[in-house]
Structure 1
């Protein structure tokens, strides 16, 4: 059973990558960015980053100041990274510490930038669901869009948005490619994080609405990564 599941997952992932590649010219931006003039700064949130002390992580304002200083020092428009990253920063929130094994493996890509940064839809979609996941350390305002690309259905989760981004939404609403869909939220609206976008792809969202795990247990890594492809397939930030 396990082997058959793995084969099925690999086949699904291969099909997804082929569909994305075939439609690459139709995929539009998620954030404003000019790769010829703007710079992305990879940010490491694993145990290798010894600059992030418990004192900094415990206070969102200090954490935000650290991110902002990193971007300023490196003349970068955004911080970037996090897919398949085993992070220590989630120790700041009890939301990730339930059960015997805490959740630490990140399943999306984070784009770190100022609050009110505009977020765009990269391809024609429908609103699948939305919610305000307002636990400390959670997504805060969240939008999930459903996509159908050459008959292949998948989803994208946009987390840590402003509450105003949820206004006027309804399930099934059509949103065209290139349309602005949201803005990054301040800490009080985004789960008490430094402003950033959590962007995650999901192949099978099951019966979940307005939420999907963005962080999993390391022991469940293979299962979740098989269902959550690398968002850089869409972002196209392979040059960072």
Structure 2
């Protein structure tokens, strides 16, 4: 089996994972965001200003009585035009490789399974991850990584490569825009099978022409997130 097939087989075993963020499945609501060009509400005026964008996210959550917003895996987004960081000479990066959980700054993040710190970094560019932590997992012999992006800067304090992070441990929090790459507060949660030699960073958005490679290496995390929210997330 290929590494992705091994990962998919793991997802079919019915394993249970600790919730990633606080969520009461019996009472809390989850709103599915559409951040593509097909959403007529998402105007250039909104995405070009972080403060306005943040207010729009908060208002959408309030209008739908939702504790969090979610979405984005394998989503072709135009919002990355707001930052030259995603623009290449030949082809811009627009395909999102993780799942975003939108909510208030300071929202605690819990480890879903025993892991160790692979690497961490403050990716301080406009539109980048900001504070980032990458954890390494081995679940029933299947190794992979999870990238947690757009964190609070304090989340990086005291970390060391190889440090053990047990299941259920609160280890990070959603960051404010000044710490998270100047985005509305949220968590970018991305699974990565092969880090390809990278530390503290890995592309969370790719060129559409390279989708095959990146989607093979960054599988859909919904089988982990369903234990947080009680429903499929993509």
Range into which the TM-score falls when normalised by the shorter chain = over 0.9
CA distance in 2, matches of 1:75, 1:23: 30
Q: Give the counterpart of 1:129 among 119, 130, 140.
A: 119
| Pair 1:51-2:41 in alignment | yes
Question: Which residue is 1:161 aligned to?
Answer: 151
| Pair 1:141-2:141 in alignment | no
Post-superposition shift, 1:15? 1.3
Please give the residue correspondences for 1:1-240 in structure 2 after superposition, counting only pairs within 5 Å.
11-22=2-13, 24-25=15-16, 27-236=17-226, 237=229, 238-239=231-232
**Secondary structure of 2:126's aligned partner:** coil
Decide whether the 8 Å contact of 2:98 with 2:191 is kept in 1: yes
CA distance in 2, matches of 1:15, 1:162: 33
Q: What is the TM-score when the length of structure 1 is the normalising length?
A: 0.93
Higher share in helix: 1
- Figure out how many residues of one structure are paired with residues of the other and give that number: 230
Decide whether the 8 Å contact of 1:42 with 1:80 is kept in 2: yes
CA displacement 1:84-117 (0-9 Å, x = unmatched): 0000000000000122100000000000000000
| Root-mean-square deviation over aligned CA pairs | 1.2
CA distance in 2, matches of 1:131, 1:187: 16
Decide whether the 8 Å contact of 1:85 with 1:105 is kept in 2: yes
Q: What is the TM-score when the length of structure 2 is the normalising length?
A: 0.95
Decide whether the 8 Å contact of 1:17 with 1:233 is kept in 2: no
Gaps of 5+ in 1: 1-7
CA distance in 2, matches of 1:184, 1:14: 31
Gaps of 5+ in 2: none
